[in-house]
Chain A
Amino acid sequence: MPKVHINGKEIEVAEGTRLIDAFLQNQEEIAHYCYHPGLSVAGVCRLCMVEIEGNPRPQIACNTIVQDGMKVTNKSESIKESVKWVLDFHLINHPLDCPICDQAGECELQEQYMKFGQYDPEMGERKVKKRKVVDLGSKIVLDTERCILCSRCVRFTDEVTKTKELGIFNRGDHAEIGTFEDKPLNNNYAVNTVDICPVGALTSKDFRFKQRVWYLQDKETICPGCSTGCSVKAYYNEKGYFRLKPAFNEDNNGYWMCDEGRALYRHANKEERLLQAQVKADDGSSHMAPGAATKKLAAEIQGLDKQKVAVVVTGQYTNEEYDQLISEWLKPAAIQQVYHWKNKEDEWGDFDGLLLRRDRNPNSKGLQDRLQKASLVNDWSQLEKNLEAGQVDCLVVIGPEIQAYYDDMQDKLKLFQKAKKVIWLSSNPVENLVADYHIPMKTYLEKDGTFVNYSGKEQKIQKMQNIVSQALSLSDFAYLIAGKEIPLTGAAS
């Protein structure tokens, strides 16, 4: 393990560590744009300059491998001055339109200027004008004037997705990034280029102009889009959720996430939510508070033959919720007919090679384990048989939170209609659903819990902000349907 002196501190790092990583790992400040740990080294921004003892010229830290006994500093006056100048070079042709730039507030140019720059600009010449608002397909807008040509996005499409849409055209200070003839950049990982863009050159159409970033808070959670379970950050404020961004998770998703997953904040927002329980009454349906509706339902199914009560579960809830459901309701009430609704199970092994898996449930594995442990594994054909035979008096469907991935939804709805009484649990309205009770549930952004991903890794999700405060978690539902009160210190709510 080589030892290196960084700004006077002796630090031990792993063999083959890049000097810039040694700086970052030890919370030493170092300016950089083009370096991204998930990509190859380009060494073009020339900001991460350091002074290495015994080397007359300043070196860039991103292309230097740590060697034992190296003495490195980036606090000397000459290095500070050089960094200032290189920052100045970055900014002389930058339009400085921060007020209308969507990146303002999370822009690395702004941050690093405040940290390492703060010089008096001497550039008095005309700036180079380039193209603004270039449409790159349905997801991304490009502003070549703001671009500082760090080439992160180009390297991303070359190295990570290997789709190679982006390139740098022209040369010198007329160089600009772009796609060939402005062809769209529409691969399923394209928006990652927006995340890694240190400036506002690439902006996401989905998020553009919706909110200034300083109005947003963020918290880390797990993407519910598939069984990979990428770590993501959700950005929200009192008006709702606005975007998801990948969070670094070394042994799962690295620095990236897919664009399909990025859309999974919308269903949590108020416009798309089921706000009240819908209860079928003699004169159409009526709205009720979810808790009250569940209590009413509990009273109704009290007297039913438990052999004729069936429960359909999907893999989109947390371990804790499944545990409560089993221990508080299914076991005490001796309900045996529990079925795991698997959408296109034969394709579940499919994988796009990067992150996205065909099993679009974040917790299939957790559910399977729990059903197995409680010996509640039943064959789906049994449910179909029972429904055909009219053997199901009451069917409780713990429906999927993200319905778009269940393309057999309408077929299943028809099938479920054959039960005498259908109770549906989901966070969002369901098209063509005729249910006796439709009870609103919390989304993954409104509860704490655990998902188990495809490889069996347990990952925590976090509660952020309630959008529909009355909505129930599956644990709440389990308590209420079992005729109990929700404990104030619930294990998972």
Chain B
Amino acid sequence: MSIVKRGNLKNSWYLPAILSGLGITFKNMILNLFGKRKMLTLNYPEEKYEYSPRFKGSHVLTVKKDGSIRCTACMLCATNCPADCITIIASEHDDPSVEKYPIAYEIDTLRCVYCGFCEEACPVDAIRMGPEWQMPGINGANFVHDIRQLAKRPNLKGGVVSVLDEEERHKAGI
């Protein structure tokens, strides 16, 4: 049941509200004309907003020191993903201490809700949500990001190195 508020005299006469609204617009126009620096809007895409480094944007697959993918294809991210947008195909690795690695890792960013659950589920710091957020594409396929894009896209400048190192762990007897 909704309550219908009957308008009083002030509300039924629209002109004061319109005028005060126009006043705000006019004030901002003047401020923007003479104080460009304080202007809140940006001329996107020429100008871009700098988000904090902790911003959860596009996914990054981290790499090991030798540049190979850190991911062990454990599929915990895929399991944890509420949007079911991660597809991983695992395969045997030549190095017995690595054992398993992804030969395909795809994130359908059109389905992704950028919740960051994948990052939290990851036991080996293999996936992170990076600060980038602009991932334009001209058709649907462009939004399915594969390993190459997730780990080695130009913006990452050769990849983000994971803090966890398998070899160090092995040496420490863990």
Contact = CB atoms under 8 A, between A and B. Distances in A.
Chain B interface extent, by class: 10 to 19
B174 A100 contact: no
A100 B173 contact: no
Contact of B91 (A98, A126, A209, A215): A209
A214 B96 contact: no
Nearest to B103: A209
A106 B55 CA distance: 37
Central interface residue in B74, B79, B170, by most chain A CB within 10 Å? B74
B92 A126 contact: no
B36 to A, nearest CB: 53
B58 interface: no
Interface in B50-77: 72-76
B11 interface: no
B124 interface: yes
Given A99-B123, A126-B173, A209-B90, A132 B96 contact: yes
Contacts of A100: 72-74, 99-100
Contacts of B72: 99-100
B174 A209 contact: no
A209 B100 contact: yes
A438 B74 CA distance: 42
Interface string A208-247: 1100101100000000000000000000000000000000
A251 to B, nearest CB: 39
Contact of A209 (B92, B97, B123): B92
Given A99-B123, A208-B92, A209-B92, A127 B173 contact: yes
Given A99-B123, A127-B173, A129-B173, A212 B75 contact: yes
B97 A132 contact: yes
Nearest to B74: A99
A214 B79 contact: yes
A215 B84 CA distance: 12
Contacts of B76: 99
Decide if the interface of chain A is mainly helix, strand, loop or mixed. loop
Contacts, number: 38
B73 A127 contact: no
Nearest to A125: B173
Contact of B96 (A125, A133, A212): A133
B127 to A, nearest CB: 13
A127 B174 contact: yes
Contacts of B123: 99
A437 B142 CA distance: 43
Interface string A64-102: 000000000000000000000000000000000111100
A363 to B, nearest CB: 37
A127 B91 CA distance: 27
A125 B100 CA distance: 26
Contacts of B96: 131-133
A132 B173 CA distance: 14
Interface in A123-138: 125-127, 129, 131-133
Given A132-B97, A209-B90, A212-B79, A99 B124 contact: yes
Nearest to A132: B96
Interface string B131-174: 00000000000000000000000000000000000000010111
A127 B174 CA distance: 6
Contacts of A208: 92
Given A99-B74, A100-B73, A209-B92, A132 B79 contact: no
Kindly name the residue among A97, A98, A99, A129 whose own CB sees the greatest number of chain B CB atoms within 10 A: A99
Contacts of A104: 74
A131 B99 CA distance: 12
Centre residue among B75, B96, B99 by max chain A CB count within 10 A: B99
Interface of B: 72-76, 79, 90-92, 96-97, 99-100, 123-124, 170, 172-174
Given A99-B76, A100-B72, A126-B173, 16 more contacts: A97-B99, A99-B74, A100-B73, A100-B74, A100-B99, A100-B100, A126-B172, A129-B170, A131-B96, A132-B96, A132-B99, A133-B92, A209-B73, A209-B91, A209-B92, A212-B75
20 contacts: A97-B99, A98-B74, A99-B76, A99-B123, A99-B124, A100-B73, A100-B74, A100-B99, A104-B74, A125-B173, A126-B173, A127-B173, A127-B174, A208-B92, A209-B73, A209-B90, A209-B92, A209-B100, A212-B79, A214-B79
